[in-house]
Chains A and B, each alone.
Chain A
Amino acid sequence: MVAKRIIPCLDVKDGKTVKGVNFIGLQDVGDPVELGARYASEGADELVYLDISATFEGRSTFTSLVERISDRINIPFTVGGGISSLSAASDLLDAGADKISVNSAAIADPTLIDSLASRYGSQFVVLAIDAKLSPDGRWLATTHGGRVLTERELFSWAHEGQERGAGEILLTSMEHDGVRKGYPCALFSEFCSSLHIPVIASGGAGSTDDIAAVLTEGRADAALAASIFHYGTCTIGEVKKELAARGIKVRL
C-alpha cells in the first residue's frame, strides 16, 4: 500500500519562509528554496508552499519563486495562497507546480474546483479547509487565514469539494495550528473515513507522537507540519524512522 506522507509546510511572505503561532507573530525561518531542498534531502515526501500574504494583501501569487523551486526540487510540491482563477492556476502549473491548493476563492465560488479539475485533472486540485469550532460546537470552514468564519459546515463542504473534483483535502484545525499540542485525532478519524480522496492533516504537530497519532487513530493519509521542522525540534528523517519503528509505512 501507499506510504503515509510527511509534508513540511512552508508559509511564504514576501519571498521568505515564515511560521507563526495561530498565524500571528511571524518569524523569518529561511529562504523557501533552500529550506525546501534541505527538507527534500532529509526525506520529505512532498512540500507545500503557501503564500500567506496573498489573501491578506491581495498580492498575486509568486510565480518566479515557484520556477526556482521547480528547477531545484525533485519531489512533488503544492502551491497555494490567493489562487482564484484558472489563469492564475495555469501560470503556476507552467512554472512547475505539481498541485495547487484553493481555499477562500473556492468558498466564494465553488465552481472554481470544477473548472480546475476538468481542465487540469483532479490530481492537480487540493481543497484546503481551515476549520474552526463555532460557539455552538460545529466545525465550520473559515476564510482569510482563519479570520472569517463562514456558514459552510466542514464535512458537507469537504464532500462538495470531493464531488466537484478536488483530488485531495488539506484540513487545518485553526484551534490547533501552530501551538504544537497535537492534531484533533477524533475529528480527523471521522473526517478521513467519510471521504474517498486522500486527506492531509495539518495544524498542531508538536512531536512524533502527534504525527503517529493522526496517521493511525486519525486515519490521515499524510501529515503536514511546519513548526517542529522549522525550529529543529526534530528532523524529518528522525520522525520517519520513528514512525517506521512503530509499524507505520513510510518511505525511508
Chain B
Amino acid sequence: MTTIVDYRMGNLRSVKNALSRLGAEFTVTSDPELILAADRVILPGVGNAAEAMDNIRSEGLAEVIRSLRRPVLGICIGMQILCRHSEEGDTDCLGVFDTDVRRFEASADLKVPHMGWNGIGNLDSKLFKGVNGGSFVYFVHSYRPELCCDTVATCNYGGLFSAALKYENFYGTQFHPEKSGDTGEAILRNFLSL
C-alpha cells in the first residue's frame, strides 16, 4: 500500500488520479502511524516551502518522515522540503538531501516561474528505468535545488539544477511525474516497483 501524505499543500487529486490510472492502491492521510506503516510514501505538494514546513511541523511529521526506511518520493515542494534549506521564506527544511533550494534569477531571457516541458539528463537512478535522457517532463516552479552528490537527474534552465535527487530510500523530483504524460507514468511506475 502506498501512502500519500496530506499536509494541506494542494492538488492531491492529481497524484491520486495518476496512481489510480496505474492501478495502484493507496491511502491519503496525515496520521503518523499510517505513514510509518506504509510500504511507500509520496509527499506531494504545490505552493510555498515555508507554509509546507509549517504544516509538516504542526502535524508532527518532521521526525516521522526523516525516520522512514521504505521508499519515499517527494514531488516539487515535497522534494524541496527534503532538502537542507529553502531561500523561499528563509526556511529550514528536513535535511535529507544534501543541497539548498534557491530562486531562479528572472531576466528577459529567463522567465520565472520555469513553466512547461523541459528535458532531463544525466539520469542515474532506478526511478528512470526505461526513460531516455532528453525526455520531456513538466515543471512549474520558481525555486530549484542546486546540484549536489544526491543529484540523479539534471535539467537546464539558465544553468543546470537538480531535476531529481536520491539519498538512500528517499527520492525527489522537481518536476511533476503525475502531470508528465507517458514519461511521468513510467517514472511513477518505477517508484511503485522499488
- Residues on A facing B (Cβ under 8 Å): 1-5, 40, 45-46, 67, 70-71, 74-76, 93-96, 98, 120-124, 167-168, 193, 195-198, 221-222, 251
Nearest CB of chain B from residue A182's CB, rounded to whole Å: 23
- Does B192 lie at the interface of the complex (its beta carbon under 8 Å from any beta carbon of A)? no
Residue in chain B with minimal CB distance to A167: B113
> B181 near A40 (CB under 8 angstroms)?
yes
**In the complex, chain B residues whose CB is within 8 Å of the CB of A195:** 111
State A197–B185 Cα separation when bound (angstroms).
28
Question: Known contacts being A76-B138, A76-B140, is A124 close to B46, with CB within 8 Å?
Answer: yes
Q: With A and B bound together, what is the CA distance between A3 and B13 in angstroms?
A: 26
Most buried by A among B47, B107, B113, B115: B115
Q: A70-B14, A70-B17 are contacts. A5–B117 as well, Cβ < 8 Å?
A: yes
Among B48, B116, B181, B184, chain A packs the most CB atoms within 10 A around the CB of B116
Task: List, in ascending order, chain B residues with CB within 8 A of A74's CB.
Answer: 18, 21, 178-182, 184-185
Q: In the complex, A87 Cα to B10 Cα: how many Å?
A: 14
Chain A residues with CB below 8 A from B116, complex form: 2-5, 45-46, 198, 221-222
Report how far A45 CA is from B115 CA in the complex, Å.
11
The residues of B that contact A96 with a CB separation of less than 8 Å are 11, 13-14, 17
**Cβ contact within 8 Å between B14 and A198:** no
B84 at the interface (CB under 8 A from A): no
Partner of B117, one of A2, A98, A198: A2
Closest 6 CB pairs of A and B: A196-B106, A251-B136, A96-B13, A251-B117, A123-B140, A121-B47
Residues of chain B having any CB pair with chain A under 8 Å: 10-11, 13-14, 17-18, 20-21, 46-48, 106-108, 110-119, 136, 138-142, 156-157, 176, 178-182, 184-185
Query: Chain B contacts of A75 at CB under 8 A?
Result: 138, 179-181
Docked Cα-Cα span, A31 to B113, in Å, equals 32
A94 to B46, CA, bound (A): 12
Q: How far, in angstroms, from A234 to B138 measured CA to CA in the complex?
A: 25
Task: Identify the closest chain B residue to A7 (Cβ).
Answer: B116
Once the chains are docked, how many angstroms separate the CA of A121 from the CA of B52? 12
| Extra pairs beyond A45-B116, A74-B184 (18, CB < 8 Å) | A2-B115, A2-B118, A2-B157, A5-B117, A74-B179, A74-B180, A74-B181, A75-B138, A75-B181, A93-B11, A96-B17, A121-B10, A121-B46, A121-B47, A195-B111, A197-B113, A198-B113, A221-B116
A1 touches B185 (CB 8 A): no
Q: Is the CB of B111 within 8 A of A98?
A: no
- Residues of A within 8 Å of B47, CB to CB, are 120-121
Q: How far is the CA of A166 from the CA of B139 in the complex (A)?
A: 17
CB of B110 to closest CB in A, whole Å = 8
Chain A residue contacts of B106, Cβ below 8 A: 196
Cross-chain contact A197 with B112 (CB below 8 angstroms)? yes
**CB<8 Å pairs between A and B, sample of 23:** A2-B118, A2-B157, A3-B117, A4-B116, A5-B116, A76-B140, A76-B179, A98-B11, A121-B46, A122-B113, A122-B142, A123-B113, A123-B140, A123-B142, A124-B46, A168-B113, A168-B115, A196-B106, A196-B108, A198-B115, A198-B116, A221-B115, A251-B136
